Amino acid sequence: MAGSKDIRHAVKAELDFDPRVDSAGITVRNMNGDVALNGTVPSYPQYAEAAAAARRVHGVTGVHNHLMVMLPPGDYRDDAMLTTAANNALELNVTVPGNVEATASDGNVWLTGIVSSGFQRAAAESAVAALTGVRKVTNDIEIRNEAETANVTNLVQDALERYGLFPDDSDVTVNASHGTVVLTGHVRSWLEHDVAIGAAWMGTGVSDVRDDLAITG
C-alpha cells in the first residue's frame, strides 16, 4: 500500500482533476488508507462525486464523507418549490413507481414509498439528487418483493465469475436468505467492491444487500 502522505496527495490530485468537483473547499485526511473528506462543496452531486473520486484512488480502503453542501444564494429553493420539483422529477422517471413521494425541508429531500427492487430505489434517488436546491437526500424507500430468492446465491456468484474481475483464489462469498444477500470476503479495489454490490442487487427478489466486504487496497 502507498504511504499515508502519498494516498492523501493522490486523493487531492484526483479531486482537482475531476471536472465535476470544485475541490477548493475540500481537505483530505488519511490514516492507512481510511480517507476522510472535510469542508464544503456547492451542490449535492459534487458531494457524491467527491466520495466517488476518492474511492478511485489506489490504496484507499475507506471513505468518510463529512462534506457540507453550501448552496450559492441563487440556488436556494423554498420547501414548497423543492418539494414540487422533486415530485415532478419522480413522476417523469419511468423506473420509479407512482407511490414514491418526496418531501423537502431546508434543502433536505426525504423519499418514502414502496418499490420492488433496489434499482427502482436508486433511480428515485438519482431523479432528485441533481435538482437545484438539494443539499441532502434521505432515502427511506422500502423494498418489498415476494419473488423467490432461493437461487440468488448461485446466480450472483456466476455473474461475478463472468465479469472476470476477481482472481481464481478470491474468497468473496454470496449467501442469500429471505430476500437479503450477504457478501463477505476481500476485494482489491472499490471497483471490485461496487461490481459485487451491483451484481447482488440484480438478483430477483432481493430486498436488501449486506456489505461485509473488506477492501485490501
How far apart CA 79 and CA 59 sit, in angstroms, is: 41
Domain layout of the chain by residue ranges:
4-69, 74-143, 152-215
39, three cell numbers:
469542508
pLDDT tens-place string over residues 100-127? 999 999 999 999 999 988 899 999 999 9
* Residues 208/181, Cβ–Cβ less than 8 Å: yes
Give the homologous superfamily in CATH for domain 152-215: Fe-S cluster assembly (FSCA) (3.30.300.130)
Domain 74-143 has what CATH class? Answer: alpha beta
Quick check: do 74-143 and 152-215 share a fold?
yes
| Per-residue pLDDT at 148 | 60
Domain 4-69 has CATH 3.40.50.970: no
DSSP assignment letter at 185? E
How far apart CA 139 and CA 52 sit, in angstroms, is: 19
pTM of the model: 0.84
pLDDT tens-place string over residues 35-60? 999 999 999 999 999 999 999 999 99
